[in-house]
Amino acid sequence: MPVLPGAEPYRHEGGDVGVLLCHGFTGSPRSMRPWGEYLAERGLTVSVPLLPGHGTRWQDMQVTGWQDWYAEVDRELRVLSATCSRVFVCGLSMGGALALRLAARHGDAVAGLVLVNPANKVHGVAAHALPVVRHVVASKDGIANDIAKPGVDEGGYDRVPLHAAHSMRQFLRLVDGELPQVTQPLLLLRAPQDHVVPPADSARVLSRVSSTDVTEVLLEQSYHVATLDLDAERIFEESHAFIGRLAPGAGGTAAQGRDREGSTTGG
């Protein structure tokens, strides 16, 4: 299946500090592209991979699971680490959980984490029925476009494939068990009016990680997909300042480097 317009992976070759941005469940790089471009314009090397089964049609997710999604970001981290002196990992929603596992497993290879409305658990009574229901019902209503800003479309699926949702539930439980292994500096930005991931998920993450350098920022004007919402610019600025504090001199004030050939401007 062809990739939807704006859902293409994005890569910018910049300086020796890299940033890996992980999109969320049923989403695509479209939700992270403006953030990635902001950091690229400031001289950082940026990678926004497209997770397997995403960015085409929801049916394609039915044959993928958390192992596939994690393998993709794990590969990108290794690619960045081969050319960059320090690598930061950022994630939205399930992308935040992917980022946390990378931090837990790769240690010093991850210099710091920036999480936006990170997911920690699949909520609701129906979550407990997923192991059985997924064999009877293929999908349910989608979770895309929880955005306060009018006229914005994140380009996510309009259906949630239940086989994939079951796999995500297993993954989030796995990551929760690994949170004490996370020791890196952490910037967590969350929207109190998130209609997809409740505040309890961020609270759980903050209570279980072993990081001592922790900053929490509230995004009062945004909903779940805050990276495209009214607080987007604040996310970009806070993350750039966070990276600059931990890697002095990272990037510059003027754009440098180039986008990977074949990258498009969608999203």
Structural domains in the chain? 10-246 (3.40.50.1820)
Which of 266, 267, 229, 255 minimizes the C-alpha distance to 13? 255
pTM metric for this prediction: 0.92
Check residue 259 and give its pLDDT: 54
Radius of gyration of the chain (CA): 17
Helix (H) or strand (E) holding 218: strand 214-218
Q: Which residues, including other chains, have CB under 8 Å from residue 192's CB and lie 6 or more apart?
A: 199, 218, 219, 220
CA distance 52 to 68: 6
Query: What's the distance, CA 5 to chain centroid?
Result: 19
Percent of the chain that is helix, strand, coil (3-state, to 5): 40, 15, 45
Tens of pLDDT along the chain (267 residues)? Answer: 789 999 999 999 999 999 999 999 999 999 999 999 999 999 999 999 999 999 999 999 999 999 999 999 999 999 999 999 999 999 999 999 999 999 999 999 999 999 999 999 987 756 777 777 777 787 888 999 999 999 999 999 999 999 999 999 999 999 999 999 999 999 999 999 999 999 999 999 999 999 999 999 999 999 999 999 999 999 999 999 999 999 987 765 444 455 553 343 333
Catalytic positions, written as ranges: 93, 194, 224
The number of beta carbons lying within 10 Å of the beta carbon of residue 145 is 16
Is 25 labelled as part of a ligand binding site? yes
Q: Which two tokens stand for residue 163?
A: 């086989």
Is 88 labelled as part of a ligand binding site? no
Name the residue type at position 212.
Answer: T
Which of 94, 93, 141 minimizes the C-alpha distance to 117? 93
